Structure 1
Amino acid sequence: MKIFLTGLIVLAGITASAQTQQDSTRRLNEVTIRPYFSNQSLIRSTGSIGLIDSTILDRQLGNSFVSALNTVAGVRMEERSPGSYRLSIRGSLLRSPFGIRNIKIYLDDFPLTDAGGNSYLNALDVASASQIQILKGPQSSIYGANSGGVVLIQPQGSNAITNNNSIALKLEGGSFGSFHQNAVLQHQAEKYSLNITQAYQRSDGYRDHSGMERKYFQALQKWDYTKTASLKALLFYSDLHYNTPGGLTAEQYLQNPSSSRPAAGQTKSAIDQNAGIYSKTIYGGISNNWIINSHFKHVISVFSSYTDFKNPFITNYEKRKEFTLGLRSYLEYARSSSDVDWKFNIGLESMKTGTDFDNYDNNFGQPGAVQASDKLNANSNFAFAHLGIDISQKLLIELSASANLYGYNYRSIAPIAIPKKTNKFDVQFMPRIALSYLLDDQFSLRSSVSKGYSPPSLSEVRASNNVINIDLQPEYGWNYETGVRYEGLNKRLFVDVTGFYYNLKNAIVRRTVLINEKEADYFINAGGTKQWGLESSLAFWIIRTNGNNFIRGLQLRNSYTLSHFKFDKYIDKTKDFSGNNLTGVPKVTVINSTDVRLPKGFYLFLQHNYTSSIPLNDANTVYAKKYHLVQAKVGKKNLRIGKTLFEVYAGADNLLNEKYSLGNDLNALGGRYFNAAATRNFYGGLTICL
């Protein structure tokens, strides 16, 4: 574990990051999380978990999840243009030319990731979330197929206060025509709560042809209809459109980074083809929680979603209609004694997603002649069991496993009709063994071994080359990790360090090809990867929160990520990439932030992000340059006019005016790797609370 010991030395010389407290006044040891069915204190958790609470979300840019999620060690989120998300946890973006794959996302009790493997995170508005937990590393044992990790999003209204009724309105505007508005209505009675969140966002974008617009509505209801049972209902609707300016070559990027992809030969430009995404999603779920008696509890959730997706691309016009229906349920048995508490959970998750793929010629943003038409149905089913044993509030042991059954059927309609066929993968057994030991009230040790598994998504089986690739196999691998957590100096200091090794087999990677002088994607299985990593985070209250001093609170945070990720025995046709750095992964990222609380509700927030160079192709012949990002935010809370509270704030991003690409097109055909991010920009806003 040389890399692990090296990281401990590095940690001694750096300061601090936020794995963070529930709010600005709670002590770190009061932070509770719920990663594996039961509430746990963060210091005792057996896994590596990043926590983003409402305080962190409030300090970051309010028009995107990117800056908030990137504060977590081991997490990299990208946005090629406003609204175009990509997300990676401890791994590769090679599977995701756009969108999010090999990561499972849940919104409250309900899977946001469909059976086809796609997660429409960009359908959500930032205002819809109150807290985000990120479980790093494979979690297939109880969350089903994933090889990267799991994201658990708590929606607004999840932690409502009894008998609290409020209305909040937030308005924010900034550079490049950005505007974001959201309103939150909270009603809380003794047995019933309702939260309604509405949001609207638009932006012209920094680059040509990079505008976006999203309309969003979300409702969360809870009803305690008996003393032992409660019902929860979640509904959201999202109408999202964003233009896709396309990747630039190095020469184009240097000459005019704000330009969109120009025409070349017979290929039209992004503007000519009106390239973009039009996505409308409606999602609903109902969950019932029944405490049967002092030992047994049963939870059942049913959910469904429908997405109407259109993508006029430079070389074609794709339409997709996706319908998902699913169920998740588990039974819990708990028993306690003077020395041992234990809980046993057994359950299942089953869902089906049907997708109609239709591709047409793109005639200047309008669908033309049919290129291909296919219907695919994905079936994702897994049963899981989880045993947690807590001995003397010192030793926590977790044993969990799942049996995953995944398959899909397909039928081609055009250009050649092919009868329905089925492709099923072998049942996969996914275990996880983990433990943590509390040496004393300040120091804990933890270790875990888990297996990850991720079958190809429908968008990889049937990529933009319009060929159904039945030979594409799931990726899988074993993850080993160990870590320490420490809190000291009278609860003012919190340190979390993790070292891990992940050996991924059959890694799914993207390729591009020219077909009739038109570029298209397809996916293959590479030999695998060897991923050694170190992650550390630390939060230090230099001046604890108080009500008397000029500085009412001063906290420093830091996260550090070291990724020594290499291809292992990877040969593509005649090219041997074995031993090369994993494409799309920076070796080092460091995030530092300072949060200063001042009298009369004033505050100041500063953050610095260092990201090292990034390999952009498997051959490692092209790299994106390293960059430093600095952002700042100042504001004043607790302004009052009558009974109405106000907050005003202003901020700036990319203060150093760095030229960098946030969302590179990996292994891009023709060297079009670069999607320039915005230059120095400013914003300001107002929040009104009734």
Structure 2
Amino acid sequence: MKKAFTLLFLLFSYHLSAQINIRVLDGNSNSPLENVRVKAEGHPLTSTDSEGEISIQETNTIAISFALEGYEKVEKTFGPGNHELSLQPSIYNLSAVTVSAFESERPILEQSASISVVNERDLSRFNETSIVNSFNTKPGIRIEERAPASYRISIRGSSLRAPFGVRNVKVYWNEVPFTSPDGTTALNLLDLTNIRTAEVIKGPSGSIYGAGNGGVINLASKADPNGGRVSTDFSAGSFGMSRYRIGLSQQVAQGGFDAAFVQQKSDGYREQSAMDRKVFQLGGYFPVSNKQEIRTQLLISDLNYQIPGGLNADQVAEDPTQARPGSVEQNSSIFQQSVFASFAHLYNFSEKINNNTVVYLNTNDFENPFNLDYKKELGFGFGGRTKFTFDTDLGGKELRIIAGGEYQTSYTDAQNFGNRGGVADTIRFADKLRATQGFLFQQAEWQGTEKLLITLGLSENFSSFEIDRLVDAAGGDLGVQKRSFDPIVVPRLAFNYLLNPSSSLFTSISSGFSPPTIDEVRTNEGSLNLDLEAEKGLNTEIGYRMGKDRLNIEATAFYFQLKQTITTYTNEQGVVLFRNAGATDQKGIEASIDYALIQNNNAFLRDLKIGTAFTGHYFKFKDYQKRDNDYSGNDLTGVSPNTLVSRLDFRTAPGIYLNFTHQFSDEIPLNDANTVYQNSYNLVNLRFGWAKWLGKSWELEAFGGVDNLLNESYSLGNDLNPFGGRYYQPAPTRNWYGGIKVAFNY
């Protein structure tokens, strides 16, 4: 009898030790959360009870994910025993958010830089056809879309030298350099389904990321697969817009893969502004052991969009939907097919030393019939980035040392032809192009006291390009011309001081540089401007952050001095040219406040949140002489001095939600002389819908919305200093959209 009792006791004890017990709580109120969907590796979907508790029979440590409407998704590993987990409301509390800016994964309250986080909730507040609206809710950031899929990014006024495309901003996608070695970024090759979150570092960040005075955008796609998921969605809207997506995520052993295909089409608001984009992404995650993991990404993108061109004021008044004369006849448009593949390897030598290395290869087939010419480019590139992280101590205080390097190179066969009715005609000039950039970086982070973190970073940069002119019908010189920029050292010194567990002060001083791109040196009429110098700047900023309970506050003041500023102008043939224009003086204030008025998962009105973001950019030309004109003291071209964005979101127990956004943009100078401005405007966007889990496996959402509710006349991206007064790229008037999403989790 005694032996039987002992055996039963041992079996009961084993049963308890083979069980994972988790209690899930609200991160603000510490109250239990019911109906949290829980997916454990190797177990079926389940959910928490009224006490927020869940039990899983398991003897090993496993990965478990948690999801509940209105809260950030979480995935963590748990072993047998009793545990508690707090879910953060999706307003995100700054004291709980961790970012990886400057290659140092720390809570944002400990970061000594101005950083904006764009999360999944931000991306899904709008029509999900582009990144424009979600990024533009953040202070200091402006993304313009002159035509569907024709993006231009301005972080603290950095788009002055970008008449088209993305320049002067470094972009990474899943930690892989996505910006080409010539300094341009084909951001329009990505669909919103390829972006899950984004961290935007504002201001020069060359001590870690190399060239670019505007800042850095770190994009990330889907999280690691957990279980299985099949999803699809469809949406349609005004001006012939349609978007279809299908996705699959599957866990395989400890890793897995996710795949997605999406096609988006639009006839466009204006004549000659149609767009068609197809994107396929396949990502793999393979934990080899406790010490190492491998990640792979494949992106195939096929993009075709038309270019309507700029209009003058009379043409806008006559018919804002018309294209620039000649754009239709010449089929002004872009055709671009690209393949981007990457391989990443993380190795933990020990608890204190690790290495993360990524390499990539990409190909690019590009055609651009334009009003004045026809351009064809065929190229490929490769590169990589590696970093070592070493945690130790100095004087009994924590010391983290980060060191690594980045290298990129690209080869392009580029040809420019005449354009005869949208067909390539006689060749004008042809070149073989090579662009190379690389840098080494080192950074030390020392926890001087319990509250003070000191960061010192430094990079050594080099870049060059080579233009081998094979054909020049105008009789110009043939042969190889090279331009190498002197090695540039870029330092950064920063401090972060924790006032208390929920607030901090930070300050930094950093230098930056940005060499001209090949497109700025080699222009469309065939000239080579090898005398263009790299921009160089010095940025000083100070900021404050506070994240407590339902309230987040961020505020930053900065002063950026830029020399050898590259600006644009247009010749009589309409070709955009570039020149160094002295210096600029850029002072600014950026602030945001987010507050959750209601956060109650047991009430009818589950969430009620408000937020506002203010951008004050007071930028001047400090020293700018152009021929006989002195523009010193004028406002910087293309920059709105004041922008204010306000948001209101609510969600109810039945699943009905509404997202309201209002954006005010001050008047914008459109030429260096400050004689022409775009008028200020108010842009109102609204999205509403119903989203609900049906059982434990199915997710369903139906949604609709309206953009430009007030039917404002404005341009979301003007042409600066154009010939013939063609400043304006009219944006769509009031337009509607709607759609449905379905997902099955297994």
Give the TM interval when normalised to the shorter protein: over 0.9
Alignment counterpart, residue 482 of structure 1, candidates 532, 536, 542: 542
Aligned to 2:246: 183
Alignment partner of 1:348 is 2:414: no
Could you say what secondary structure the match of 2:611 adopts? strand
Structure 1 runs of 4+ with >4 Å offset = 19-23, 336-339
Alignment partner of 1:551 is 2:605: yes
Q: Is the 8 A contact 1:465 1:521 kept in 2?
A: no
Q: What is the CA distance between 1:223 and its match in structure 2? A: 0.6
Aligned to 2:162: 96
Could you say what secondary structure the match of 1:254 adopts? helix
Q: What is the CA distance between 1:190 and its match in structure 2? A: 4.0
Could you say what secondary structure the match of 2:185 adopts? coil
Structure 2 CA distance for partners of 1:460 and 1:129, relative to 1, 3 Å: same
Alignment partner of 1:498 is 2:553: no
Aligned to 2:196: 130
The more displaced of 136-145 and 547-556 is: 547-556
Q: What is the CA distance between 1:146 and its match in structure 2? A: 0.8
Could you say what secondary structure the match of 1:94 adopts? coil
Aligned to 2:256: 193
Structure 2 CA distance for partners of 1:317 and 1:292, relative to 1, 3 Å: same
d(CA) in 1 for partners of 2:295, 2:158: 36
Q: Is the 8 A contact 2:565 2:581 kept in 1?
A: yes
Aligned to 1:117: 183
Alignment counterpart, residue 139 of structure 1, candidates 205, 208, 225: 205
Write the deviation string for residues 600-639 of structure 1: whole angstroms up to 9, x where unpaired.
1111110000000000000000000100011111111115
d(CA) in 1 for partners of 2:598, 2:294: 43
Aligned to 1:9: none
Write the deviation string for residues 185-223 of structure 1: whole angstroms up to 9, x where unpaired.
111244212111211000011011100000001111111
Write the deviation string for residues 645-671 of structure 1: whole angstroms up to 9, x where unpaired.
211011111000000011101101100
The one-letter amino acid of 1:168's match is S
Alignment partner of 1:368 is 2:425: yes
Structure 2 CA distance for partners of 1:461 and 1:23, relative to 1, 3 Å: farther
Aligned to 1:248: 311
Q: What is the CA distance between 1:29 and its match in structure 2? A: 2.1
d(CA) in 1 for partners of 2:586, 2:443: 27
Alignment counterpart, residue 144 of structure 2, candidates 33, 57, 78: 78
Alignment partner of 1:454 is 2:503: no
d(CA) in 2 for partners of 1:634, 1:42: 31
Aligned to 1:69: 135
Aligned to 2:270: 207
Could you say what secondary structure the match of 2:495 adopts? strand
Q: Which structure 2 residues correspond to residues 634-649 of structure 1 after superposition, within 5 A?
A: 634-638=688-692, 640=694, 643-649=697-703
Q: Is the 8 A contact 2:721 2:727 kept in 1?
A: yes
d(CA) in 2 for partners of 1:425, 1:620: 33
Q: What is the CA distance between 1:642 and its match in structure 2? A: 9.1
Q: What is the CA distance between 1:392 and its match in structure 2? A: 4.9
Structure 2 CA distance for partners of 1:22 and 1:434, relative to 1, 3 Å: farther
Structure 2 CA distance for partners of 1:561 and 1:445, relative to 1, 3 Å: same
Could you say what secondary structure the match of 2:303 adopts? strand
Q: Say which structure, 1 or 2, has more relative contact order (CA 8 Å, 6+ apart).
A: 1
Structure 2 CA distance for partners of 1:638 and 1:336, relative to 1, 3 Å: farther
d(CA) in 2 for partners of 1:299, 1:22: 29
Aligned to 1:509: 567
d(CA) in 1 for partners of 2:576, 2:388: 43
Q: What is the CA distance between 1:226 and its match in structure 2? A: 1.6
Structure 2 CA distance for partners of 1:618 and 1:394, relative to 1, 3 Å: same
d(CA) in 2 for partners of 1:348, 1:441: 34
Using structure 1 for the length normalisation, give the TM-score: 0.93
**Runs of 5+ consecutive residues of structure 2 not aligned to the other structure:** 1-71, 74-86
Could you say what secondary structure the match of 2:147 adopts? coil
The more displaced of 19-28 and 80-89 is: 19-28
d(CA) in 1 for partners of 2:137, 2:215: 16
d(CA) in 2 for partners of 1:464, 1:510: 14
d(CA) in 2 for partners of 1:670, 1:169: 47
- Specify the structure having the higher radius of gyration (Cα): 2
d(CA) in 2 for partners of 1:563, 1:519: 30
Q: Which structure 2 residues correspond to residues 143-182 of structure 1 after superposition, within 5 A?
A: 143-156=209-222, 159-160=223-224, 163-182=226-245
d(CA) in 2 for partners of 1:573, 1:220: 53
Q: How many residues align?
A: 657
Aligned to 2:581: 526
Q: Is the 8 A contact 2:556 2:590 kept in 1?
A: yes
d(CA) in 2 for partners of 1:229, 1:501: 42
Q: Which structure 2 residues correspond to residues 26-45 of structure 1 after superposition, within 5 A?
A: 27-45=93-111
Alignment counterpart, residue 527 of structure 2, candidates 467, 475, 499: 467
The one-letter amino acid of 1:512's match is T
Aligned to 2:52: none
Alignment partner of 1:53 is 2:144: no
Q: What is the CA distance between 1:572 and its match in structure 2? A: 1.1
Alignment counterpart, residue 299 of structure 2, candidates 236, 254, 259: 236
The one-letter amino acid of 1:229's match is Q
Q: What is the CA distance between 1:418 and its match in structure 2? A: 1.9
Q: What is the CA distance between 1:281 and its match in structure 2? A: 1.0
Aligned to 1:577: 631
Structure 2 CA distance for partners of 1:599 and 1:47, relative to 1, 3 Å: same
d(CA) in 1 for partners of 2:346, 2:547: 35
The share of aligned pairs that are identical, in percent, is 36
d(CA) in 1 for partners of 2:194, 2:596: 29
The one-letter amino acid of 1:150's match is V
Alignment counterpart, residue 656 of structure 1, candidates 710, 715, 724: 710
Aligned to 2:345: 288
Q: Which structure 2 residues correspond to residues 299-378 of structure 1 after superposition, within 5 A?
A: 299-335=356-392, 340-378=397-435
Write the deviation string for residues 482-510 of structure 1: whole angstroms up to 9, x where unpaired.
0111223xx11110000000000001111
Structure 2 CA distance for partners of 1:402 and 1:337, relative to 1, 3 Å: closer
d(CA) in 2 for partners of 1:671, 1:431: 42
Q: What is the CA distance between 1:160 and its match in structure 2? A: 2.4
d(CA) in 2 for partners of 1:642, 1:286: 35
Structure 2 CA distance for partners of 1:506 and 1:22, relative to 1, 3 Å: farther
d(CA) in 2 for partners of 1:455, 1:495: 35
d(CA) in 1 for partners of 2:533, 2:91: 49
Aligned to 2:500: 440
Q: Is the 8 A contact 1:339 1:392 kept in 2?
A: no
Q: Is the 8 A contact 1:298 1:332 kept in 2?
A: yes
Q: Is the 8 A contact 2:574 2:722 kept in 1?
A: no
Q: Is the 8 A contact 1:22 1:31 kept in 2?
A: no
Q: What is the CA distance between 1:72 and its match in structure 2? A: 1.1
RMSD: 1.7
Using structure 2 for the length normalisation, give the TM-score: 0.86
